[in-house]
Amino acid sequence: MTPSVPTPLAARTPPLAEPSAWHEISLTVNGRPVTAQVESRLLLSDFLRDRLGLTGTHVGCEHGVCGACTVLVDDEPVRTCLILAVQCRGTEIRTVEGLAPGDAPLTSVQQAFHECHGMQCGFCTPGFVLTTTALTEQSDRPDGEQVADALSGHLCRCTGYRNIRRAVCQALGERFGE
């Protein structure tokens, strides 16, 4: 049922009269090496979306509050609207498309959001899923305060958060034991 979306596309350099200086960057995105020409001012969010076709990274506010554009850079959740693409030389980036590529089964975090109905419109979901993924990748189980702190870095306008908290709880339970 699910159409498989090719990810990532080859980096695309648009032929346009960009006044700011261009730089070549090489980095890893979802396990694949990428080399691209980017303008100095190109935000990482726009690089991922417009140049690599990874539109699962959503742009909600462009000033670092809503968290919809969160991805993992070197395993840490960060806002892609507050990072320039040119700052990402040599980094390893994971986006939501990289979690369960192609027809691979959903990860336990993704599955938890599905089972707990921790999503409605889906726009904020990739950000929440990636922050939760980072929590499950910590060596020790994060305490309640750390989880609350991490989740408060994301806005959701649909769910009222209750089912998101349930989903995170379920995913952490599966990773670390109840």
Partner 1 sequence: MSHDSYPQPHGDGSWIGRSVPRVEDDRLLRGNGRYVDDIALPGAVEAAFLRSPHAHARIDSVDVSAALAAPGVVAVWTGDDVADLPAMLNKEELRTPPGLAELLDPVVRMTPMPLLAADKVLYVGQPVAVVFAENRYLAEDALELVDVRYSPLAVLVDPELSLTPDAPLLHEELPDNTAVTVATRVGDPDTAFANAHAVVSERFEAHRYVASPIETRAISAQVDPYSGRLTIWSGTQTPHRLRDAIAHTLGLGPAAVHVIAADVGGGFGQKGILYVEELIVPHAARRIGRPVLWREDRNENLTSSSHAREQIHRIELAADSEGLIIAIRDRITVNFGAYNMTGLVVPYNSLCHLLGPYRIPNVDIDVVGVLTSTTFATPYRGAGRPETVFAMERAMDRLAAELGIEPEKLRARNLVGPDAMPYATGLVDRSGRPQTYDSGDYPELLRRAVAKADVQGVRARQRAGARNGKYVGIGFAMYIEATGLGPFETARIDIAPSGRVRLAIGAPSQGQGHRTSMAQIAADAIGVPFDVIDVVGGDTEATPFGVGTIASRALVNAGNATHRAGRLVREKIVEAAARRLGVEADGLGLSDGVVASKEPGGPSIGLAELAGRAPLPGTPEPADGRYGTEISETVHFRPPGFAVSSGAHAAVVEVDAHTGGIEILHYVVVHDAGNIVNPMIAEGQVTGGIAQGIGGALYEEMVYGPDGQPRTGTYMDYLVPTSSEIPDLDMEETFTPSPMNDLGVKGLGEGGAIAPQAVLAGAVEDALRPFGVVVRRGPLSPSRVRDLIRTAGRT
Partner 2 sequence: MKPSSFDFTAPSTVGEAVALLADEEREAKVVAGGQSLIPMLNMRLARPEVLVDITRIPELGRLHVDAEGNLRIGAAVRQARAAADPAVRDGWPLLAAAIERIGHPQIRNRGTVCGSLAHHDPAAELPTAALALDARFVIAGPRGTRTVTAEDFFVATFSTAVEADELLTEVVFPPLPADHGWAFEELTRRHGDFATVGVAVVLEQGPGTGTVRTARVVFSGAAPVPVRLAAAEDALVGSDAGGQALAAAADVALAGLAPSDDIHATAEYRREGAAHLLVRACTNAWERC
The owner of tokens 């809503």 is 66
Residue 157 is a binding residue for partner 1 (CB under 8 A) = yes
Residue 35 is a binding residue for partner 2 (CB under 8 A) = no
CB of 162 to partner 1, least distance (A): 5
Binder to partner 2 among 32, 102, 152, 162 (CB under 8 A)?
152
Radius of gyration of the CA atoms of the chain, in A: 16
CB of 42 to partner 2, least distance (A): 9
What single-letter amino acid sits at 36? A
Residue 163 is a binding residue for partner 1 (CB under 8 A) = yes
Binder to partner 2 among 9, 10, 24, 41 (CB under 8 A)?
41
Picked from partner 2, partner 1, none, the partner binding residue 84 (CB below 5 to 8 A depending on kind) is: partner 2
CB of 129 to partner 2, least distance (A): 13
* Strand spans (E) along 30-95: 32-39, 70-73, 76-79, 92-94
Calculate helix-pair angle for 125-136, 144-151, nearest 10 degrees: 150
Contacts to partner 2 by CB under 8 A: 18-21, 23, 39-41, 43, 46, 62-64, 67, 70, 76-79, 81-84, 86-87, 131, 146, 148-150, 152-153
